[in-house]
Structure 1
Amino acid sequence: MPPPSEPEAANKAARGGDSDAPRQEIVKAAAELFMDLGYRATSIDAIAERMGSTKGRVYHWYRSKAEIYFDVQRSAMRRLTELVEPIAREGGPPQQRIERMARAHVDCLLHDLPMQKVSVQGLETHVITSDSVRHAKAMREIVGLRDAYEALFCEVIDEGIRAGVFVDLPPRLLSKPFFGALNWVTIWYRPRRLQTEDDLQMLGEMLTEFAVRGILKERN
């Protein structure tokens, strides 16, 4: 079954009667394959097989693998933002808020590893260079989502700097090693068969403490 035309795909996305569930099922299956195989080795056929479906069903919702990949990115950033933004916007001491934000961030990474690992890995070179003009709008959108998410942390870090709690460096510069400490878990972490929720909670606490300690100002 050939993929629908671009207007048809846009119309399907805009139709109020279409449920988001089928798209999320495709995105979830694709994220698992992108994580295990990488972008290049993942095919529409493989995504359909992972779902136990036909590729015609995938093409009903998506015109290409790249479109699915971008939706994985969007879904990952949406989940993180929904968890973290309410914490960032509420009042309270900046150190407490950044600790809770970091914990929400790393917990999401641990519990939603395929989606978040693909997101952390970023826009792969193949996607960017294969058809840069065609995908430029989607890439700008994803970069914008990432920048907005990072800004939530930078705003709270800036409050902490002005309060004398965090290291006196530009917030965006300080956020880089902070996110690095948290996001590195997507590189080395693999779920274990006998792993418990308590194990994940302990890991989340350790990573959060380590990341926050790295931006705290030393006390005399």
Structure 2
Amino acid sequence: MTKTRATPIEDDAPRREIIRAAAELFMDLGYRATSIDAIAERMGATKGRVYHWYGSKAEIYFDVQINAMQKLIDLIEPIARGGGTPRERLERMARAHVDILLHDLPMQKVSVQGLETHVISSTGTRHTKAMRDIVRLRDDYEQMFCEVIDEGTRQGVFVDLPARMLSKPFFGALNWLTIWYRPRRLQTEEDLEAIAENLTGFAMRGILKEQER
């Protein structure tokens, strides 16, 4: 798989701090209402510090997307290529996907929401490569799931439909978490594990043949 990574820098820590602060604001306020000033304020820094690493809000937004997708790919790919039956691998992949959503919600929610239309229209061709990179990462990620689903379908484990047709509702069930889930102050790690287990089980039941459930 050809991997597309965010633009490398000498020290990743400052950029990582910026994109995490920005992701929280993009999640809470949306892209349009988030400003460089607000990102800097969230960090407790000056906007000059932000501009040292990024030339525009759009660059930060795209970097949030790329880093979120790359984190998913780096974790899921070894599972997809590893041992076990298609059912076992798909269940582990789904569980890992949900775990990342739960523990990295701002970054992943921005990524799941996708490229907002007004961002694309306002940036024009200046960020064509970044947008293509994001689309490529999304396609690569979904393809890993489709390959495992296709293998399971051919073995008679999953519903007999094209893998792409099955992957869409499968991801829909998992990613809906970014719509309804809100972290609670007293939430424990056991609570998160229960959410992940129940959501993964729900998604798997929707893709398994009735006799396999």
Q: Tell me the residue number matched to 2:191.
A: 199
How far did 1:174 drift? 0.5
Q: Tell me the residue number matched to 1:57.
A: 49
The answer to whether residue 66 in structure 2 is matched with residue 78 in structure 1 is: no
Q: What stretches of structure 1 move > 4 A for 4+ residues in a row?
A: none
Q: Tell me the residue number matched to 1:35.
A: 27
Q: Tell me the residue number matched to 1:7.
A: none
Which of 154, 164, 183 does residue 162 from structure 1 map onto?
154
Aligned 8 A contact 2:158 2:207 in 1: yes
Q: Tell me the residue number matched to 2:139.
A: 147
Equivalenced residues, count: 206
Tell me the distance in 1 between the aligned counterparts of 2:8 and 2:20: 21
Listed as ranges, the gaps of 5+ residues in structure 1 are: 1-12
How far did 1:75 drift? 0.9
Instruction: Name the SS for the 1:131 alignment partner.
Output: helix
Q: Tell me the residue number matched to 2:3.
A: none
Q: CA RMSD in A?
A: 1.1
Which of 115, 118, 121 does residue 113 from structure 2 map onto?
121
Cα deviation, 1:15-57, whole Å, max 9, x if unaligned, reads 6xx2011000000000000000000000000000000000001
Tell me the distance in 1 between the aligned counterparts of 2:36 and 2:124: 21
Distance 1:157 1:14, change over 3 A: closer
How far did 1:14 drift? 5.7
Distance 1:160 1:135, change over 3 A: same
Cα deviation, 1:156-211, whole Å, max 9, x if unaligned, reads 00000010000111101100000000000000100011110000000000000000
How far did 1:91 drift? 2.0
Q: Tell me the residue number matched to 1:98.
A: 90
Tell me the distance in 2 between the aligned counterparts of 1:130 and 1:25: 25
Listed as ranges, the gaps of 5+ residues in structure 2 are: 1-6
Which of 55, 58, 69 does residue 66 from structure 1 map onto?
58
Q: TM-score, normalising length from structure 2?
A: 0.94
Tell me the distance in 1 between the aligned counterparts of 2:103 and 2:14: 21
Identity %: 77
Q: TM-score, normalising length from structure 1?
A: 0.91
Cα deviation, 1:66-88, whole Å, max 9, x if unaligned, reads 00000000110111111111000
